[in-house]
Amino acid sequence: MAARSIASLTISFGMVAIPVKLYSATETSKTISFNMLHKGCGSRLKQQYVCLKEEVVVPRDDIVKGYEFAKDQYVTFSPDELKALEETGSHSAEISEFVPIETVDPVYFDKAYYLAPDKGGAKPYALLAQALRASGRCALGRWASHGKQHVVMIRPVEDGLVMQQLLYGTDVRSIKDLDIPRTEVKDAELKLAEQLIDQQAVDRFDPDAYTDEVRVRIEAAVQKKVEGQEITLTEEREGGGQVIDLMEALRASLEKKAPAAPAPQAEARKPPKRARSAAEPSVRKTAKK
C-alpha cells in the first residue's frame, strides 16, 4: 500500500526553498486498544463528566476549561480565548542553524516524519541531503502545527530526510536530578564487561530483529476469543536470584554467550571381541566345494 502524505511543507535555508511532502514515520493505527463495555449486555459505554460538588452529570455545553493556579482555585478561558492563544499553523519550516548530529541527545526526540520532495523540489532536496551527510550535521528550525510551535531537526537518512520533532529543554528532566552515587569499578571487572560487550556487539541496529511479543500474545488471545476458545493462563516466569558477586556474574555471562565448541568426532571403532569361554564350541568356516 502506497504511503499517503499528510501535509505539504516548504523547507527553507538562506535563499533556498525546498517544497516537500510530509509523511508520518510511525503507525499508531496498529496499536491494540480495548473498548469499555457494559458487563451485563456487552454494549459500549459513553463517557460523562460529573460535578464533584453537586454530584450531577454536566452536559458538554456547560463545560468550560480552567487553569488551577492555586489549590482548588481556577481561572477559566472561553473557547475563543483559547483559540487566540494557539499558534497559527505554518506551511514552512525555516532552518535557523546547523549542528553536529551527535550533539543532539536522543532523549529530546519526539514524533518523526519522513520528507519527500514535492513538485520542483527534487534538486534542492538532494542537495540538502547530501550536504548534511557530507558535513555530519543536522538542521534545526521551527514549525507550527495543530496550534503548537515545535522545534524540529532535519537529519539525513539512507534514502532521504527525516524531520524529527524535538522536545523543549523544559520538557526533559536532567539526570543530575537523580541521586546516582559515584562507585569505583575495578579494572578486572571493566575488562570482563568489555569482553561481554564485544561478544554481543553487532555492526548496526536491525529493528526487524525485535518483535513486540506482548502484542503478538494479545492478538493471539483475541483471535481465540473470536473463535470461541478459552484462554489458559500461563504460569509466571520465575525471576533469577540476586547475584552478589559481580565478577562471577560477568564470568557466567561470558560462558553463557560463548559459542559452544564442536564436539570432536570419535573415531569409528570395531566392537571389542568377546572372549570365548571354554564351554563354547569352536566354530570353523569351511569353503564350499
pLDDT at 58 over 90: yes
Compute the average pLDDT of residues 67-95. 85
pTM of the predicted model as reported, rounded to 2 decimal places: 0.68
Share of the chain above pLDDT 70, in %: 82
More confident residue, 192 or 29: 192
pLDDT band with cut points at 50, 70 and 90 for residue 232: low
- Looking at mean pLDDT, say which of 18-27, 226-235, 270-279 comes out highest: 18-27
Half-sphere exposure of 29 (CA within 13 A, CB side): 3
Please give the residue that has the higher pLDDT: either 4 or 100: 100
Write the single-letter amino acid at 191: K
Average pLDDT over residues 39-58: 91
pLDDT at 198 over 60: yes
Quick: pLDDT tens for 162-187: 999 999 999 999 999 999 999 999 99
pLDDT at 6 over 90: no
Q: Kindly write down the DSSP assignment for every residue of 74-118, as one continuous string.
A: EEEE-HHHHHHHSPPP-SEEEEEEEEEGGGS-GGGEEEEEEEEE-
Residue 111 and residue 143 in contact, taking contact as beta carbons nearer than 8 Å: no
SS3 (DSSP) at 278: coil
pLDDT of 212 reads 83
Mean pLDDT of the chain: 82
